[in-house]
Amino acid sequence: MGRDEQPLIGESQSFLEILDEVSRVAPLNRPVLVVGERGTGKELIAERLHFLSARWDRPLVKLNCGAISESLLESELFGHEAGAFTDASRARQGRFELADSGSLFLDELATTSMSVQEKLLRVIEYGQYERLGSSRTREVDVRLIGATNMDLPTLASSGRFRADLLDRLAFDVITLPPLRDRREDIMPLAEHFAMRMTRELGREVFSGFSTNARELLLNHPWPGNIRQLKNVIERAIYRHDEIDQPVSGIQFDPFESPWRPGANQARPSAARPDEPLPEDLRSHLDALEKHFVLRALADCQGHQRKAAEQLGLSYDQLRGIIKKHSIKLRH
Ligand SMILES: Nc1ncnc2c1ncn2[C@@H]1O[C@H](COP(=O)(O)OP(=O)(O)O)[C@@H](O)[C@H]1O
Ligand SMILES: [Mg+2]
């Protein structure tokens, strides 16, 4: 593994299948599209595609299309000549030029304008483009790896994404499942991030997670996927001072505080106005109940009377819920 490469952790069937697919498509000189919710590892997969290709020792250039204004994006991608626009005092290479004979990773591809999409199609198909402010056609050999968290076929059918570019990009599409649909990966990832953070803090040991903490981690919906898991674990490790004890304190929301601005009017996060309707209300509510009880138990280090108090329940009511969900207590 190269110096720049990060290990890809995961044991679930769906993740292993993705790694197979990545190895299969990596050596081909074709564009690839990586699709998935934020934090599912799209960028890491793009790196793997590059390093497993024949271009591995050539540049891998990255650009987040969503982070740049439309007018700047074109000159970022294709470069410009001196005087091409007001601030362009000197000529500049674009990302395609910099990535020549290597790979170009374009994140948040769905946000690009139609005019950028048209130029992308041309450079993918014919390897040709012009710098802004120049009529000289230049040639490049770049393998494009695109990423998006949007459904491009839907955007294409409503005319917001070019169908011909989509066809060309979608030579192969790698779709990363959200973390909540591959729960077998949660603990291996959590332990990996915990160990890394332990080393980073210069501590000798990581004593694992308490049963309650594991339950919490395994049952969380992880809307921010692996990136969120990483943050939650790193925070739990650095806040944990009894280093010979298993980690039990898990805080999902770092903004959680009684002093948070607007905290009094805040709605419960599971009842946001844009929350899609649950497919099965009863099991959805059960999952929520379990989630909040686990969290209260974690906040109170497993102390059931305190947890009951926090949730406005009697001790017996809490016991009932713990039993109903077969929640395992303490280590
Ligand atoms: N399979 C994995 N194993 C280890 N770390 C991962 C894995 N997938 C993602 N990560 C880490 O999670 C974070 C988010 O990944 P990233 O590729 O930036 O996601 P995305 O581009 O989909 O938003 C990064 O810190 C990345 O290193
Ligand atoms: Mg990303």
CA distance 319 to 305: 10
pLDDT at 302: 83
Distance 112 CA to ligand 2 centre (A): 16
CA distance 159 to 33: 19
Confidence at 263, pLDDT banded by 50, 70, 90: low
Atom of ligand 1 nearest to the CA of 229: 12
pLDDT reading at 272 higher than 60: no
Q: Does the beta carbon of 39 lie inside 6 Å of ligand 1?
A: yes
Distance 16 CA to ligand 2 centre (A): 20
Average model confidence (pLDDT) for the chain? 90
pLDDT digits (tens, 9 = 90+) for 307-326: 999 999 999 999 999 998 88
CA distance 20 to 18: 5
- Atom 5 in ligand 1: which residue has the minimum CA distance? 8
What are the φ and ψ backbone dihedral angles of 17, each rounded to 5 degrees?
-65, -35
Least confident among 149-153, 171-175, 251-255: 251-255
pLDDT digits (tens, 9 = 90+) for 281-298: 888 888 889 889 988 888
Least confident among 22-26, 157-161, 241-245: 241-245
What would the DSSP string read from start to end of 122-174? Answer: HHHHHSEEE-BT---EEE---EEEEEESS-HHHHHHTTSS-HHHHHHHTTEEE
Would you tell me the crossing angle of helices 225-239 and 211-219 to the nearest 10 degrees?
160
CA distance 105 to 46: 7
Neighbours of 189 (CB within 10 A): 22
CA distance 30 to 28: 6
pLDDT digits (tens, 9 = 90+) for 202-245: 998 899 999 999 999 999 999 999 999 999 999 999 999 888 89
Nearest to 315 by CA among 303, 327, 325, 324: 303
Give the whole-number percent of the chain exceeding pLDDT 90. 71
State which of 37, 193, 226, 230 you would mutate to test the pocket of ligand 1, scoring each by most atoms of that ligand within 8 A of its C-beta.
Answer: 226
Q: What three-state secondary structure class fits 99?
A: coil
pLDDT at 274: 65
How much is the average pLDDT of 160-175? 94
Question: Relative to the alpha carbon of 38, which ligand is closest?
Answer: 1
pLDDT digits (tens, 9 = 90+) for 49-94: 999 999 999 999 999 999 999 889 999 999 999 887 777 788 999 9
CB 88 within 8 A of CB 76: no
Domains annotated for the chain, with CATH where assigned, are: 13-177 (3.40.50.300), 180-324 (1.10.8.60)
Q: Does the beta carbon of 224 lie inside 6 Å of ligand 1?
A: no
Q: Does the beta carbon of 230 lie inside 6 Å of ligand 1?
A: yes
Distance 99 CA to ligand 2 centre (A): 19
CA distance 109 to 127: 18
CB 123 within 8 A of CB 4: no
Q: Does the beta carbon of 40 lie inside 6 Å of ligand 1?
A: yes
What are the φ and ψ backbone dihedral angles of 45, each rounded to 5 degrees?
-65, -40
Nearest to 43 by CA among 115, 117, 129, 105: 105
- Alpha-helical segments (H) within the chain: 13-25, 42-51, 70-78, 95-98, 114-126, 152-157, 163-169, 186-200, 211-219, 225-239, 281-299, 304-310, 315-324
Least confident among 18-27, 258-267, 277-286: 258-267
pLDDT reading at 3 higher than 50: no
Question: Relative to the alpha carbon of 224, which ligand is closest?
Answer: 1
CA distance 296 to 187: 21
Distance 68 CA to ligand 2 centre (A): 14
